[in-house]
Structure 1
Amino acid sequence: MSQERVRLKNAAILVLDDEVLLRRRIAAWLERAGAEVVQAGNLAEARKAAAAMPFDFALVDVNLPDGRGTELLGGKLLGAGTSVIVMTAEGGVAGAVEAMRLGAVDYLTKPFDIEELPFRFERARRSKQQTRVEEHRRTHDSGGGDQFFFGRSLAAMEQQLELILAADRRIVKHPPPVLIEGETGTGKTTIARWIHRRGPRADGPLVEVNCSALPETLAESELFGHEKGAFTDAKSARIGLLEAADGGTLFLDELPSLPLPLQAKLLTALEDHAIRRVGGSRMQEIDTRIVAATNADLRRLVTEGRFREDLFHRLDLFRVRIPPLRERGEDIVALARLLLARIGKRYALSVGEIPETGRKRLLAHQWPGNVRELAHELERAVVFDGGDLRFDALARRLYGTPVGDADSSRTPPWLRDGYTFPEEGFSIEGAVDELVRRALEQTGGNASAAARLLGTTRDFVRYRLRDRSSGR
């Protein structure tokens, strides 16, 4: 590993050693790598430096003129955000072991080759990243894989993704962001994983964030990190998820949920390839690939003032649209067969073929919940219906009559195949009311959830309800 491959630009590093010559040689090397270095020759100087500024890394000798370097760890003067590597003379391994127990991430035995430092700092950086990524996964475990069924209907989209990956392989650093558009349940998260795990960043971290689940008061700290004392509960420095995903991919699902000021800060990070932690003064260089996803029309949100226009244009380069399931024709049946095989394997059950009646009903249903709804419907059929794949329960639950059968009186005529508009005209207002009614029925009367299914706002759904109740 060469010095150039170590990401030390803008990093703050404390070098604590009473050997002036060694300390100066180390500092000179680190400064050439772009780091901001503070030198200390004893504990008193180190304590003063630690109180004045936060450090990303510290290289600390165990034996010092006025005490032991491990006192900085045991006394918590170097916070959890500082990765500490200890140095010890021959025979001082016991001190190194003590330092590791107190929280040091690595140790070097003197004398050592300064050229070895790049490996140690890179390992410390990756360890810090991995700790933050694992912490996030424990709290927001998404699980899942990256198997996406393209089929014939999505061949053009698959080719587009392959072209994006080919472009990625030609870019050493800072690949452009990817914007994935699609309704809820179409597989946006799966596509984000597909891009990461098949691209040149597959060995780097993949961090997934549901922006709508981030509390507004904590969203900035979660994404950008914070320094010790930045706010009341900031008892130690903490790296953000943008920094944790350095060298890998950060997937931002439901991106429009971020408040406008945070959208502006994200735009700066995309353009400058650097971030500043909350309460910090230094810019930290990052090489993080952003994959963003939305189920909303960003252009409409821009015109409504709910999404920044400059951020939209920054994202609108590698844009991928996942069509809803209802637009995928016979691929719905092929996907159902694939999902059934997985479900059968999971439950250790033998799953038969989908009969013609079941096939027609799968193709007739509009699947507002897309692939997620289809998977759940198939699982219910396998578990509760004894593997009966005619999907009678689906038809009765949603329409009161089997979809695809001759009796479809509950289904509006304009949803049936072969429908033509009557010469006397068509009530689009009635159609909208019917769509709102069905969305509310599916969501148990939850106006917000119905609005998400319809791709509109909760106020619009409530407005339609008021109009209908007032007889207008």
Structure 2
Amino acid sequence: MMKFSNDTSTFFRGKEVLLLEDNLLLAKQISSFLEKSGADVTHCQSLEEARRALPELSFDAALFDLNLPDGDSLELLREGIVPQNTSTVLMTGEGGIRSAVEAIQLGASDYLSKPFDLDELPYVFAQADNRRKNIRLSQHNREQEKKKTNDLFFEGAFVQDLEKLKKILDADRRLDANLPPLLIDGPTGSGKSTYARWIHAHGPRSENSFVEVNCSAIPENLIESELFGHEKGAFTDAKNARIGLFEAADQGTLFLDEIASLSLAAQAKVLLAIENGVIRRVGGTKEIKVNIRIIAASNQDLRQMIMSREFREDLFHRLDLLRINIPELKTRGTDILPLAKHFLSALSKKYRLPTPTISKSSENYMLHNEWTGNTRELIHDLERALVMAEKGQDLELSNDLQSGLKNNTLLDENDWLNPSFVFPEDGFDLEKEMIRLIERAISQANGNISEAARFLGVPRDYIRYRLQKKSK
């Protein structure tokens, strides 16, 4: 959250303040203090006077005594006539804590127990104003985050991704509180964190925190402190107590990116926290309850890591309740082109440039590039080409990336997928290339033989026959 100034000495300068107090002596003292601080004060002695004053002036702050001759000031909050952008503080006498709690629930910013030092007023109101601004900023950030996720591309082959995401959301809404872990696997740059944010932004916990941690970026000796926090003096540099990311994400979502990079010891502690819903800070003895939705992501084959004893099998099965697999970008086929246009439109808005047309050669490049960096690489290539493009000309990726073309086996000059290919004098191995086509179709279909057969326009049995013939 944004930090605001700690200087409260000038808080009331130029502010309109409503003071609701029937004790004339106290009202005079408070009014004098506020006016010396630069405020314009409107003093009311009853609820009726306040009801008349509130619609007439736009008050920045309000200071209400609880008990008044014609009722208690909570009535004004219950009636909803105090604007939400007015920082309201309640003054209570002895035994008024219950009323103060109700006032907070009704929208008051804070309360002061009588008697109090007048010097407390700027501090209390400044803190209340900071909280109000932080709440608004958090709301704005959530709205912006949701807007970003609403702009995701879900057309063509990507419709399948949206269907999976919606099924998870349906399950989340039925469960409401105790949401199961979600595992997202896919190669680097494929959009795992983007999908995690989409799930959070559209789910039942969207009003609460989304905390993202890249497990591979945290040194092994600090991972436990980062995740679970530490008490003062827990280790040499622990000069103050600090909460961990599990606590920070309480009631929200904790996204553990690159979870495969955690050590086995750290994995055991994460498993314990997920199963029991409690954590213990480093150096502490107190168990702290946390209610979080865990989303984990990995770009490695966790099953293979289990076999090599690099990842805990029990943690894998705990995380693998719901799963989304994001395939490599190169398997998306011709859907890469509308995806690129979608990204290019967003990038053009970012740089305040007209959206250019992508050249035919660049389209050909995109269809045949390996895209080892997946979606991230595509976005970076488009952004670089957009920034460097000549005004009014088609967008050229291939001209900027000749080295990539040379290293791309699919665009080798002797490859028949290359538009400039000519048949060699010594003949062409059609049988071998048919198998290659079949394997390419199966890869694009993520191993689904029926889908691969549809791509090729042949019966499923034909593919099986060809593959069996190859293996003999």
Q: Same fold (TM over 0.5)?
A: yes
CA deviations on 1:110-166 (whole Å, 9 max, x unpaired) are xxxxxxxxxxxxx99x99x99xxx9xx9xxxx9994343222212222112111111
8 Å contact 1:185–1:369 — kept in the other structure? Answer: yes
2:348 is the alignment partner of 1:324? no
Structure 2 residue aligned with 1:400: 406
Query: For residues 80-229 of structure 1, what are the structure 2 equivalents within 5 Å?
Result: 89-94=113-118, 96=120, 145-146=148-149, 147-229=151-233
Structure 2 residue aligned with 1:371: 375
Flag the 1:93–1:421 CA change in 2: closer, same or farther, 3 A: farther
Unaligned runs of 5+ in 1: 1-84, 107-122, 427-472
Structure 2 residue aligned with 1:81: none
Structure 2 residue aligned with 1:335: 339
Q: Name the TM-score, length of structure 2 as normaliser.
A: 0.58
Aligned residue for 1:194, secondary structure, equals helix
Query: For residues 219-298 of structure 1, what are the structure 2 equivalents within 5 Å?
Result: 219-298=223-302
Flag the 1:266–1:404 CA change in 2: closer, same or farther, 3 A: closer
Q: Distance in 2 between matches of 1:279 and 1:369?
A: 41
Structure 2 residue aligned with 1:460: none
2:352 is the alignment partner of 1:348? yes
CA deviations on 1:339-385 (whole Å, 9 max, x unpaired) are 11112222222233223332222111111111111111112222223
Structure 2 residue aligned with 1:388: 394
Flag the 1:376–1:250 CA change in 2: closer, same or farther, 3 A: same
Flag the 1:173–1:392 CA change in 2: closer, same or farther, 3 A: closer
Structure 1 residue aligned with 2:45: none
Q: Distance in 2 between matches of 1:329 and 1:188?
A: 20
8 Å contact 2:328–2:374 — kept in the other structure? Answer: yes
Aligned residue for 2:381, secondary structure, equals helix
CA deviations on 1:8-43 (whole Å, 9 max, x unpaired) are xxxxxxxxxxxxxxxxxxxxxxxxxxxxxxxxxxxx
Structure 2 residue aligned with 1:21: none
Q: Which amino acid aligns with 2:394?
A: D
Unaligned runs of 5+ in 2: 1-108, 422-427, 437-472
Q: Which amino acid aligns with 1:91?
A: P
8 Å contact 1:242–1:250 — kept in the other structure? Answer: yes
Q: Which amino acid aligns with 1:188?
A: K
Q: Distance in 1 between matches of 2:291 and 2:429?
A: 53
Flag the 1:149–1:97 CA change in 2: closer, same or farther, 3 A: same
Flag the 1:89–1:156 CA change in 2: closer, same or farther, 3 A: closer
8 Å contact 1:256–1:294 — kept in the other structure? Answer: yes
8 Å contact 1:361–1:390 — kept in the other structure? Answer: no
Flag the 1:87–1:161 CA change in 2: closer, same or farther, 3 A: closer
Aligned residue for 1:207, secondary structure, equals strand
CA deviations on 1:401-450 (whole Å, 9 max, x unpaired) are 99988xx32x7679999986649x99xxxxxxxxxxxxxxxxxxxxxxxx
Tell which structure's C-alpha radius of gyration is larger. Answer: 2
Aligned residue for 1:306, secondary structure, equals coil
Which residue, out of 304, 312, 325, partners 1:300? 304
Flag the 1:413–1:419 CA change in 2: closer, same or farther, 3 A: farther
8 Å contact 2:398–2:405 — kept in the other structure? Answer: no
Q: Aligned residues: percent identity?
A: 44
Flag the 1:191–1:384 CA change in 2: closer, same or farther, 3 A: same
Aligned residue for 1:383, secondary structure, equals helix
8 Å contact 1:221–1:240 — kept in the other structure? Answer: yes
Q: Distance in 2 between matches of 1:284 and 1:150?
A: 40
Q: Distance in 2 between matches of 1:255 and 1:211?
A: 6
8 Å contact 2:357–2:394 — kept in the other structure? Answer: no
Q: Distance in 1 between matches of 2:396 and 2:430?
A: 28
8 Å contact 2:385–2:400 — kept in the other structure? Answer: no
Flag the 1:379–1:259 CA change in 2: closer, same or farther, 3 A: same
8 Å contact 1:333–1:359 — kept in the other structure? Answer: yes
Q: Which amino acid aligns with 2:196?
A: A
Q: Which amino acid aligns with 2:397?
A: F
Aligned residue for 1:328, secondary structure, equals helix
Q: Distance in 2 between matches of 1:322 and 1:397?
A: 27
8 Å contact 1:196–1:202 — kept in the other structure? Answer: yes
Flag the 1:94–1:384 CA change in 2: closer, same or farther, 3 A: same
Structure 2 residue aligned with 1:311: 315
8 Å contact 2:231–2:283 — kept in the other structure? Answer: yes
8 Å contact 2:255–2:295 — kept in the other structure? Answer: yes
Q: Distance in 2 between matches of 1:354 and 1:233?
A: 54
